[in-house]
Amino acid sequence: MLVILTCVVFVLVTVVTAIMGLRLTNWRTRAVERLATKVYIKAPILPSPSLIWQELVSSVGSMVPSSPKNLPRLKKRLVRAGFRAQNAARLFNGARVVSTLAFGVTGFLLAYYRQLAFDNLLYTTAGAFFFGYLAPMQFVVFRIRRRQHAIERGLPNALDLMVVCVESGLGLDQTVIQVAKELQFAYPEICEEFTMMNLEMRAGKRRIEALHNLAERAGVEELKKLVAVLVQTDRFGTSIAQSLRGHSEYMRIMARQRAEEQAAKLAVKLVFPIFFCVLPSLFVVTVGPVLTRLIRDLFPMFESM
């Protein structure tokens, strides 16, 4: 019995000692690993098809000669459309070349498949090439209009929030940051412009210059008026809150006047749909049964006479 008890005690002491030793060794290993410099092994990154296509189009655009006179104008349009990358102009030129070739070849194949005459084949191919050349610029113009419309739609709410922030004691720079943070999901376009303005001021540009760049980038008339108000306020030292409140009231009045103008034009715009769509169907419904009855009743009388 004593021998068995001794063996059990020996086994327990051995197990406890082994466990403590393993835990101590594990703790020391974790400490060494935590203090040691970690070496990260980067897994090979496979480029996505979109990146490959973008690089291909950019390389094609870099081979296209561009006019130095038209390049600033093109970059200005691309910035207004929301394309701010450094290689945006090269991508646009490459997309124009690819679009021209794609539309031209497609038009030629369709005309050849339909077995058109040589003159019609030539005109169709030339028209397809011309449409492919104009398609990228029309897409950029569409993006500019949609972005400007989004900025105009979000400007009144942004202005109201600016009034609240300024009246609560924030400066103009902090107000711009707060507005860009609060409205980034509702109106991302105008928040992006405000963020860019804040980054320019952090980079060392003066506030007036950053405001002028904001108006020039967006190209929205209402935003230009707001920038003019802020520049005058900063120049003459007047109250920013009062200026913003007055401009907010002015924007509400202008929006109401535009709505009244559109409502006044509605009656004139409805003349042509009513005349060409509603009146013919109304005549058919009202006069049609009468004419059929007259024809059915009067023609037998004329025949009998």
Tokens standing for 291?
Answer: 């004419």
Report whether 203 contacts 197 (CB < 8 A). Answer: no
pLDDT in the model for residue 43: 46
Q: Given a cut of 70, is residue 214 above it in pLDDT?
A: yes
d(CA 104, CA 110): 10
Domains of the chain, residue spans = 54-145, 148-261
- Cα–Cα distances (Å) from 64 to 15, 53, 61, 124, 137, in that order, read 78, 17, 5, 25, 16
Tokens standing for 170?
Answer: 């924030």
Letter for the amino acid at 265? K
Q: Given a cut of 60, is residue 1 above it in pLDDT?
A: no
Tokens standing for 213?
Answer: 């760049």
**pLDDT digit string, tens, across residues 226-257:** 888 888 888 887 788 888 888 888 888 888 88
d(CA 177, CA 193): 11
Phi, psi angles (nearest 5°) of residue 5:
-65, -40
18 torsion bin: left (phi>0), alpha (psi -120 to 50), beta (else): alpha
144 pLDDT tier (thresholds 50, 70, 90): very high
227 by Cβ neighbours in 10 Å (0-12 / 13-18 / 19+) ranks as buried
Angle at CA 198, nearest 5°, toward 194 and 204? 150
Tokens standing for 198?
Answer: 């804040």
Q: Does the predicted model carry a pTM greater than 0.85?
A: no
142 pLDDT tier (thresholds 50, 70, 90): very high
Letter for the amino acid at 99? S
Tokens standing for 226?
Answer: 């707001």
pLDDT in the model for residue 138: 92
d(CA 7, CA 182): 73
Q: Which residue has the higher pLDDT, 240 or 63?
A: 240
